Structure 1
Amino acid sequence: MDPLEQLVAQIVGLSDTDIPRLLGILKASDDLLRADWTRLSSVLSQLDPFKHSLGFLYILEASTAGPTTKEQAETVVPIITSFIDACAAEQIRSIPDKFISLCKRFKDQVVLLETPIRGVAPMLAALKKLQTSTEHLTPLHPEFLMLCLLAKCYKTGLSILEDDIFEVDQPKDLFLYCYYGGMICIGQKHFQKALELLHIVVTAPMSTMNAIAVEAYKKYILVSLIRHGQFSTSLPKYASSTAQRNLKSFCQPYIELANTYGTGKIEGLETYVQSNAETFESDNNFGLVKQVVSSNYKRNIQRLTQTYLTLSLQDIANTVKLNGPKEAEMHVLQMIQDGEIYATINQKDGMVRFLEDPEQYKTCEMIEHIDSSIQRIMALSKKLTVMDERISCDQAYLSKVGRERPRYDMDDFDTVPTKFTI
């Protein structure tokens, strides 16, 4: 019997009875599949992607290993999509590297076809099948978020950013997950969540400087200005020494932007942005920089609420350097809608009345929100206790630290993220 036909017969015969033995046979047949890849497409028709998921995966991965043209991608993409949808999770988890390789190749093919949206749903299904729990960060998480960014499916990307992550296979996956996740949150104007994710990238352990951390730091500066109206160049003590020493030198134009922003003078800020527009555009951050400029107007309006109870739209325009009362009214209305200020506008005389925060923190919705936050913190505390006990008993850890354990003061922890969801 032909070796390839014999392999197919073994796949069919062992898929229901002896997966470990089949896995050994498939691993030993890797060279055969690579050498006979031109026949593999026809072999797939003899297999069921659900019943024979392991064998189907091996053959499909081998058949797509070479360079792919657009015409070939058009044929292969639907096959991989169908396989991801139908495959049995318990079988593909027995050889995760093959499944990850196939899915990454699938991502490259939909990008090659310039139709990233075709990969969003299949990649989400793939990572859920690969996950052992929602706390597990797989190498497919960043690939999924990248496709969401390319396809502008930001809301779909947000769906996985709500999960608490405690298990990470590779550090690079965490860096990319948080970086792409931060970009998705920026796209949805969820700036606080974006700050938390970018903060993780910037402060994560690193022995050498990496491009992901540098790009994350640039966006971290911009988002800090938009969300809080200020930025501190001091990194927390638990950030790596590599980041402490090198990040600022890679991001000087952004640090200067933050310093200019801090003066509150819109003319100087706009001048600085225009003179450095080429730098910001080359970093693909110019749109975010424009939001920084816009937020400077908002911060100046917010400062007025701390001094005045009522103010005319014309006075607001003059103080904040806007082009007349109409533009001032547009800014004030947008800030009221976004909950950034509390005010009413009298259309008759063009007066703005600034109000106190109406939230009394005693509604059922607020109580439920506070309760859910407390429950989440308690669950996180238990998880950290278990992890601490596990690490404390780890022989490799104990051999390195000996009796000297790190001691941290309260000042070692900063207050930038209000949550630690990743």
Structure 2
Amino acid sequence: MNKMEALITSIQGLSGSLGDLCALHARLRKAEDSLRINSNVQLSILKQLDPSIHSLGYLYILEASTSGPVWKKKATLLIAQFINCCDAGQIRLASEKFVILCKRFKDRVFKDPLRGVGPMLSAVRKLVQVSPKRLTALHPDCLQLCLQAKCYLAGFSILSDDIVEVDEPRDFHLYCYYGGMICIGLKGFQKASELLYNVVTAPMHEVNSIAFEAYKKYILVNLIHSGQFSNSLPKCASSVAQKNLKNWCTPYYEVGNYYNDGKISELEAVVVAYSSDFENDNNLGLVKQAVASLYKRNILRLTQKYLTLSLEDIANMVQLPNAKEAEMHVLQMIQDGQIHALINQKDGMVRFLEDPEQYKTSEMIDVMDSVIQRTIGLSKNLIAMDNSLSCDPLYVGKSQVGRERQRYDFGDDFDNFPHFSM
């Protein structure tokens, strides 16, 4: 019996109990060099293993077989099948190797992303089964693939849990950036704003390309969602961000300032002047949504001043071409719950109404209870994290705290940072 046959026998015999798996893991680590010698042979050997039963050994052999620059097409298919059926408990024993394999798979299917969305979602879920509030190294890769495939709902499915455990700041910032773009694709601008805010306010020694891209979108998303623009960054943003982000985002500041003025024609002129900048950033579509939202924002302002207005008056006041366009905007805002109004089709008059919500229905009580429970859960997590840090000797002395914080600075400039149009 040669070494490879002996290893296969070990994998088949030691894939049951945790004790056996630990012994197998030690043997697989020793055999890593020999596993990388002939990738073609290793792939054929996999036929003797069941990926759902012998997941740990299968993972080691498959990872070794795909470590070189040239793959067989069969290997990509095998990885997808393995991710979908492997045992979560076994792959978590070698989670770093599993992450490496999944990242290779993502890179291989990136030009045909639909092939990879399902397996990558499965990979993330298997890694977080024990702790759904933990961010894995695969979260950002999965979201990036969902963006590339325009599978926004699939990506949103891994954004529902509140992340409180993070190993690598870079993973968290990419998770928030890609997650924000997923939410933009779904018109979930409030959630998008929250995620992009996390990137903009992250600690950093040098401003990086992710922060720049996030801040540009953060400005536009806030205009669309709340109709507000501030010339200053959030106070919790780092001093480096406070000093530098504005200088690199001048076109977006111009859009924000003219948006605040409420004058459509001047805002549109600014958009035309900087259209090449917005297009290069793949943000032109988002800018146009911001411009369109100003019509609605101006109509909303009218509801605070008038009880009734004609559609013709609304069109003139908010600079819409005609009464028909004004009617379409008002109807859409009523449908979206942004305003409460009645339109008299005979005389073209709009009567603005008070919000009918009394906040006493069972549905509203359920919503409020859900928010309260989420807040309580977050509070408990923060208390637990605070207690854990206060007992950590690395955080006792000020000097040690300073050194430890530097690990969380995110100052690398990531070249070839991907831009996605929305």
TM-score (norm 1): 0.91
Specify the SS of the correspondent of 1:199.
helix
**Following superposition of structure 1 onto structure 2, how do residues 111-126 of structure 1 map, counting pairs within 5 Å?**
111-112=110-111, 114=112, 116-126=113-123
Greater shift in the superposed pair: 25-34 or 184-193: 25-34
Tell me the residue number matched to 2:51. Answer: 49
After superposition, where does 1:10-21 map in structure 2 within 5 Å?
10-16=10-16, 18-21=20-23
**Structure 2 counterpart of 1:201:** 199
Q: SS of 1:137's equivalent?
A: coil
- Residue identity in the other structure for 1:24: A
2:98 corresponds to which letter in structure 1?
F
How much has 1:351 moved relative to structure 2?
Answer: 0.9
Instruction: Tell me the CA shift for residue 403 of structure 1.
Output: 11
The share of aligned pairs that are identical, in percent, is 61
Look up the match of 1:3.
3
AA of the residue aligned to 1:345: I
Superposition deviation, residue 203 in structure 1: 0.8
C-alpha distance in 2 between matches for 1:402 and 1:6: 49
Find the aligned partners of 2:401 and 2:141 in 1 and give their Cα distance: 42
**C-alpha contact (below 8 Å) 2:394/2:401 kept by paired residues:** no
1:333 equivalent in structure 2: 331
1:314-362 residue CA offsets vs partner (Å, 9 max, x unmatched): 1111111111111111111111111111111111111111111111111
Q: CA deviation at 1:76?
A: 2.5
Offset at 1:68? Answer: 4.4
In structure 1, C-alpha distance between the alignment counterparts of 2:98 and 2:384, rounded to whole Å: 31
- Rounded to whole Å, the distance in 2 between the matches of 1:335 and 1:7 is 66
Match of 1:66 in 2: 68
Question: What residue in structure 2 maps to residue 23 of structure 1?
Answer: 25
Counterparts of 1:279 and 1:118, CA distance in 2: 33
Which one of 240, 249, 255 corresponds to residue 251 of structure 1? 249
| SS state at 2:222 partner | helix
User: Which consecutive residues of structure 2, in runs of 5 or more, have no partner in the other structure?
Assistant: 403-422
Kept in 1, the 8 Å contact 2:201–2:237? The answer is: yes
The alignment partner of 2:110 has SS state of helix
Q: Counterpart in 1 of 2:321?
A: 323
TM alignment of 1:21-420, pairs within 5 A: 21-68=23-70, 72-73=72-73, 75-112=74-111, 114=112, 116-131=113-128, 132-400=130-398
Q: Give runs of ≥4 in structure 1 deviating > 4 Å.
A: 401-404
Letter in 1 for 2:366: E
What is the number of equivalent residue pairs in this alignment? 399
Q: What secondary structure, in the 3-state scheme, does the structure 1 residue paired with 2:357 have? A: coil
Rate the CA distance shift 1:357–1:68 in 2: closer, same or farther, 3 A. Answer: farther
Distance 1:117 1:90 in 2: 27
| 8 Å CA contact 2:135, 2:166 repeated in 1 | yes
Q: Distance in 1 between matches of 2:161 and 2:364?
A: 22
1:5 positional shift: 2.1
Structure 2 counterpart of 1:331, which letter? H
SS of equivalent residue, structure 1 residue 352? strand
Write the distance in 1 (CA, Å) between the matches of 2:298 and 2:12: 71
Q: Give the C-alpha shift of residue 16 in structure 1.
A: 2.5
CA–CA distance in 1 between the matches of 2:295 and 2:70?
50
